[in-house]
Amino acid sequence: MMRIDDVKVLYGLACFSLCLIIVSPTIATFVSFPSGEPFSEIWVLGSGHMLEGYPFDVENGAKEQVFVGVGNHLGRSAYYVVYVKLRNQTQALPNSTISEPSPLAPLYEFRAVVADGETWEEPFAFSFLEASHFGDLFAVKKISINDQVFTVEYPCVWDSENNGFFYQLFFELWIYDDDSSSFRYHNRFAGIWLNMTV
Closest CA to 127 of 197, 61, 194: 61
Domain count, the chain: 2
For the four alpha carbons of 35, 36, 41 and 45, in that order, the dihedral sign comes to negative
d(CA 102, CA 90): 12
pTM: 0.80
Question: H helices then E strands: how many in the chain?
Answer: 1, 9
The pLDDT score that the predictor gives to residue 154 is 83
Q: Determine the structural domain holding residue 154 and report its residue range.
A: 39-195
The pLDDT score that the predictor gives to residue 48 is 87
The pLDDT score that the predictor gives to residue 96 is 87
Same domain, 24 and 109: no
The pLDDT score that the predictor gives to residue 98 is 93
Same domain, 61 and 25: no
Q: What is the DSSP letter of 164?
A: B
The pLDDT score that the predictor gives to residue 14 is 64
Same domain, 5 and 46: no
Spans of the chain, pLDDT less than 50 = none
The pLDDT score that the predictor gives to residue 15 is 61
